[in-house]
Copies of this chain bind each other. A is one copy, B any other.
Amino acid sequence: MPDMTRDLSCLVLSCTLKPSPAESSSDLLGSQVLAAFGELGVTGSVERVVDHDVRFGVSTDEGDGDAWPTLRQRVLDADILVLVTPIWMGQPASVAKMVLERLDAELSETDDDGRLLTFGKVAAVGVVGNEDGAHHVSAELFQALDDVGFTIPAQAVTYWVGEAMQTVDYKDVSPTPEKTAGATQVLTRHAAHLAGLLKASPYPAGD
């Protein structure tokens, strides 16, 4: 088998509500995912969405200085997209929902064979919170990402949450919880493998 993960790239979008330079647990988990991809030869970067002037909307470009078109090009340039989001009230952050709504526009963007530009790309998810909500957040994100054309590898989520009604942030937990580090390893190994397969053998077009 050729080294299919060669030349793969990823983009990690951190959906924290706080602009830089505030510390962010989502950024931290995102950077850990990026580092784990790096060990597999997958290159990329972490971008904090709220540092860009992304507009609410469901088009590829809302105009008037909208920062989404630039981020969108980076999504299209990457083989793997990782959304990392904090949990608020047991649910995905509004910033993650804003990103998904912008990705909804991809349903209208097809190549000459009628295939979405996202087909062949792989998506995975990172979730952090003080407590409770990671499974549901991954459910929401998996469904929306799958709907707009991404493929979801097996066990494509890494997460950390504390015990019920606790208030510690992931960025203040030290050392990195072993279970989360293990989930990050599985996520990146599977995502890189699957992205390599789909890059070499894209989904066929319909008739």
Interface residues of A (CB under 8 A from B): 1, 4, 17-18, 50, 56-58, 88-95, 97-98, 100-101, 104, 116, 118-119, 131-136, 138-140, 142-144, 146-157, 159-166, 177, 179-180, 183, 185-186, 189-190, 193-194, 197-198, 201, 203-204, 206
Contacts and interface: CB of A to CB of B under 8 A. Distances in A.
A135 B91 contact: yes
B161 A189 contact: no
A193 B185 contact: no
Nearest to A165: B179
Contacts of A136: 90, 133, 135-136, 139, 143
Closest A-B pairs by Cβ, 9 of them: A90-B135, A139-B143, A136-B136, A94-B97, A165-B179, A152-B152, A94-B98, A17-B56, A139-B139
Given A17-B58, A139-B140, A194 B151 contact: yes
23 contacts: A18-B57, A88-B100, A89-B143, A89-B147, A90-B136, A91-B144, A133-B133, A136-B143, A138-B143, A139-B139, A139-B140, A139-B142, A139-B143, A146-B155, A151-B153, A154-B203, A161-B163, A165-B179, A185-B206, A190-B203, A193-B201, A194-B198, A194-B203
Contacts of A190: 151, 203
A190 B193 CA distance: 17
Contacts of A4: 201
